[in-house]
Amino acid sequence: MINRIKQKLQEDKKLLSIYFSAGFPSLNDTTTIIQDLEKSGVDFIEVGLPFSDPLADGPTIQESSTIALKNGMTTELLFSQLKDIRKMVHIPLIIMGYFNPMLQYGVEAFCAKCAEVGIDGLIIPDLPLDVYEREYKAIFDKHGLVNIFLITPQTGDERIQQIDAASDGFIYMVSSAGVTGSQSGFDNTQEDYFNRIANMHLKNPQIVGFGIKDAETFKQATKTTKGAIIGSAFIKHLHKEGVKGISTFVKTIR
Amino acid sequence: MKYNVDEKGYYGEFGGAFIPEMLYPNVENLRQNYLKIMAEPSFKEEFDQLLKDYVGRPSPLYLAKRLSKKYNTKVYLKREDLNHTGAHKVNNTIGQILMAKRLGKKRIIAETGAGQHGVATATVCALMGMECIVYMGEIDIARQAPNVARMKMLGAEVRPALSGSRTLKDATNEAIRDWINNPVNTHYIIGSAIGPHPYPDMVTRFQSVISEEIKWQLKEKEGKETPDYIIACIGGGSNAAGTYYHYLHEENVKIIAVEAAGKGVHSGESAATSALGKEGVIHGCKTLLMQTNDGQITEPYSISAGLDYPGVGPMHAHLHKTGRAEFISATDDEAMNAGLELTKLEGIIPAIESSHALAVFKHKTFKPDDVVVISLSGRGDKDLDNYIKYFKL
């Protein structure tokens, strides 16, 4: 079966992805949120596996992770919540999480479970490229999981080429220097960066994340790229409104 | 068996650089340059000069006669407590500020728990006229007021870490986030032998002046460079790493690491990482760390804020796994009493961290002709409040 992410990337439109922390705002909101996001027309979803020490995340996502953990979220519980998700949801699902919880679950067992419930890919910010290729790529491949790597405005051209070569899905393009939720908007610096990457003609499409929060930033971010990911802004919405009004939020974006 | 870091940044199976891509350019730049810079004659000259004239090195190797008599062995104390700023921490911050200057960085960030590393960093920033931001858990800020005041006097900005448990672990997270937010002009001075490669190796090399001195000092006093035992307390493990460094491959020197058992290893309030930790990834390296079965990092506890860290440096994880070092742990009570005992016997008030190393005598018996070197990592001025409360002074 062709990976759902790869299939989605072939569609002729700008893709919108949403991130949320599993187990937030309430422990058992996971499948409700996923279903509502799909119904609202979101193209794919990043399900955040909460971690006690999320280094690359700002206060908003750290807080939603902390609340999720307090609510009792665990790796095992997330998999059991997702057990029947493929009977209901057809868009690509990605788990985004830090490496340590996966290491403790066992990387092989984790990947097998992902494949079993119908996860299509993983984003693991603190699993470096060289370690992935040396120790885990074979396992990911065996279970048909796409691994997504990040690039930032500071990533050198040579390294971007390496990451492009190692990727088989999309490249997660971090919009600017900063943790999640810390950007105030896009300016010329981002435009130069977006243009620089566009001119590299990479084999993998790019999806922009960090700093996308409304229709305007979504439009700016997707001018030269395939799509964009919203995280902190959606978490803030959930914080305020709970799981109600998800489609209203998505409609404000596009 | 090799105990140093290998060319990929690992100590056996521990170490590496498990960092988000946002940190890659900075860490990679450091990795490619740190050894080159440290080998430059002008760097060495400046480093040595500052250690001598500013820090007050070499620190004495002191034969503690009354302590030796009490335990019927020969105990030397390596007096890191006599360094400027009161602990071994400054050896590393001097080295890293010189490194930062040569890397063209203008802004310094650091994390601190009890405030010792924060003070040592603020000190070298004042010395070099560089901007300094120290992240400190909100809870630690409240319980370490004098060190917060010191840092402010030295011109540093102390930023509270408000996330998580608001202690050292979270201060480290905030410092890492600051580095992600400021990728170009900033150098992160990590205070312990932890973090992504090359930090554990770099910090260890800067601290290795401790064992370098012990070697020639012991030669002068004992006619041989090698003791029978070399002992240090261990939290993240920078003092221990520097104390062991030049003895790692001298297999006849027995290495002992003393961790903080808090209220008892299995009390649920402990920082004895080697006993309670499992292999995992924290703050950019693979090492032993205290965590739940689900891989969430847990809060350690120790009366000593400097040992209150849920992980241990990757070199130490390797020394533990290979059996090169013997790991023991001392409770709050054992450490406090060992600290008071040293004060009464030798007139030296040790930092509570160092008191843990001194508590080794509660766990091990040495032979009369053994030469035992204990690293006295810091002085106890900063801990007076704790001593006052504990002994109702």
- Asked if B280 lies within 8 A of A100 by C-beta distance, the reply is yes
Question: Is residue B108 helix, strand or coil?
Answer: strand
Asked, for residue B183, whether it belongs to a domain, the answer is: yes
Cβ neighbours of residue A189 under 8 Å, at least 6 residues apart? Answer: A153, A176
What does residue B119 show for φ and ψ, rounded to 5 degrees? -65, -45
- Asked if B25 lies within 8 A of A154 by C-beta distance, the reply is yes
Indicate if the pLDDT at residue B27 is higher than 70: yes
Please identify, among B140, B168, B203, the residue that sits at the C-terminal boundary of a domain.
B203
Distance CA B59, CA B82 (A): 7
Count of beta carbons in the 10 Å neighbourhood of residue A205 = 16
Together in a domain, B354 and B265: yes
Indicate if the pLDDT at residue A184 is higher than 80: no
**In Å, how far are B259, B261, B285, B310, B317 from B300, measured between CA atoms?**
12, 10, 18, 5, 17
Together in a domain, B95 and B219: no
Amino acid at A182: S
For A205-243, what is each residue's pLDDT tens digit?
999 999 999 999 999 999 999 999 999 999 999 999 999
Verify cis geometry, omega within 30 degrees of 0, for the bond prior to B183: no
CA A196, chain centre distance (Å): 23
- Asked if A105 lies within 8 A of B295 by C-beta distance, the reply is yes
Together in a domain, B262 and B187: no
B297 part of contact set with chain A, CB < 8 Å: yes
**In Å, how far are A133, B255, B314 from B5, measured between CA atoms?**
21, 18, 9
B104 part of contact set with chain A, CB < 8 Å: no
Residues of A contacting chain B (CB within 8 angstroms): 51-56, 58-59, 62-63, 66, 69, 74-76, 98-105, 125-128, 131, 149-152, 154-156, 159, 174, 177-179, 182
Together in a domain, B266 and B283: yes
B29 part of contact set with chain A, CB < 8 Å: no
Give the mean pLDDT of chain B: 96
Is pTM, for the whole model, over 0.95? yes
What does residue A119 show for φ and ψ, rounded to 5 degrees? -80, 140
Q: Label residue B305 by pLDDT band (50, 70, 90).
A: confident
Together in a domain, B233 and B378: yes
Asked, for residue B28, whether it belongs to a domain, the answer is: yes
Distance CA A84, CA A87 (A): 6
Asked, for residue B194, whether it belongs to a domain, the answer is: yes
Q: Domain holding B362: CATH number?
A: 3.40.50.1100
B182 part of contact set with chain A, CB < 8 Å: yes
- Asked if B19 lies within 8 A of A156 by C-beta distance, the reply is no
B110: left (phi over 0), alpha (psi -120 to 50) or beta: beta
For A28-42, what is each residue's pLDDT tens digit?
999 999 999 999 999
Asked, for residue B1, whether it belongs to a domain, the answer is: no
Asked, for residue B185, whether it belongs to a domain, the answer is: yes
Per-residue pLDDT at A181: 80
Distance CA A164, CA A177 (A): 20
Distance CA A195, CA B304 (A): 52
- Strand order of the sheet with strand A146-148? A146-148, A121-123, A93-97, A44-49, A15-21, A227-230, A206-209, A171-174, A150-151
Together in a domain, B166 and B33: yes
Nearest to A51 among B25, B293, B296 (CB): B296
Q: Which of B205, B325, B339, B240 is nearest to B274 (CA)?
A: B325
For A121-141, what is each residue's pLDDT tens digit?
999 999 999 999 999 999 999
Q: Label residue A1 by pLDDT band (50, 70, 90).
A: low
Query: Angle CA(A170)–CA(A176)–CA(A179) in degrees, nearest 5?
Result: 95
Q: CA of B133 to nearest chain A CA: how many angstroms apart?
A: 17
Distance CA B211, CA B335 (A): 23
Please identify, among B184, B203, B222, the residue that sits at the C-terminal boundary of a domain.
B203
**Residue B39 domain boundaries:** 11-50+89-203
Per-residue pLDDT at A50: 98
Q: Which of B289, B274, B244, B197 is nearest to B9 (CA)?
A: B197
Asked, for residue B378, whether it belongs to a domain, the answer is: yes
- Asked if B183 lies within 8 A of A156 by C-beta distance, the reply is no
Together in a domain, B193 and B214: no
Count of beta carbons in the 10 Å neighbourhood of residue B137 = 29
Distance CA A226, CA A170 (A): 9
Count of beta carbons in the 10 Å neighbourhood of residue A55 = 25
Per-residue pLDDT at B352: 96
Together in a domain, B363 and B233: yes
Number of domains in chain B: 2
Q: How much is the average pLDDT of B309-334?
A: 97
Q: Label residue A88 by pLDDT band (50, 70, 90).
A: very high
Q: CA of B381 to nearest chain A CA: how many angstroms apart?
A: 32
- Asked if B21 lies within 8 A of A155 by C-beta distance, the reply is yes
Asked, for residue B251, whether it belongs to a domain, the answer is: yes
For B247-264, what is each residue's pLDDT tens digit?
999 999 999 999 999 999
Q: Catalytic residue among B74, B89, B169, B254, which? A: B89
Verify cis geometry, omega within 30 degrees of 0, for the bond prior to B25: no
Q: How much is the average pLDDT of B311-334?
A: 98
Q: How much is the average pLDDT of A144-164?
A: 97
Give the mean pLDDT of chain A: 95
- Asked if A177 lies within 8 A of B173 by C-beta distance, the reply is no
For B40-75, what is each residue's pLDDT tens digit?
999 999 999 999 999 999 999 999 999 999 999 999
User: What's the per-residue H, E or C state across chain A?
Assistant: CCCHHHHHHCCCCCEEEEEEECCCCCHHHHHHHHHHHHHCCCCEEEEEECCCCCCCCCHHHHHHHHHHHHHCCCHHHHHHHCCCHHHCCCCCEEEEECHHHHHHHCHHHHHHHHHHHCCCEEECCCCCHHHHHHHHHHHHHHCCCEEECEECCCCCHHHHHHHHHHCCCCEEEECCCCCCCCCCCCCHHHHHHHHHHHCCCCCCCEEEECCCCCHHHHHHHCCCCCEEEECHHHHHHHHHHCCCCHHHHHHHHC
> Please, are residues B315 and B2 in contact by the beta-carbon 8 Å criterion?
no
Together in a domain, B95 and B231: no
Indicate if the pLDDT at residue B118 is higher than 70: yes
Together in a domain, B235 and B109: no
CA A254, chain centre distance (Å): 19
Element holding B223 (H helix, E strand)? none
Q: Catalytic residue among B59, B208, B238, B377, which? A: B377
Please identify, among B163, B186, B203, the residue that sits at the C-terminal boundary of a domain.
B203
Tokens of residue B102, six digits: 């040569």
Asked, for residue B117, whether it belongs to a domain, the answer is: yes
Together in a domain, B159 and B247: no
Together in a domain, B108 and B66: no
Is B89 an annotated catalytic residue?
yes
**Catalytic residue numbers of A, as ranges:** 46, 57
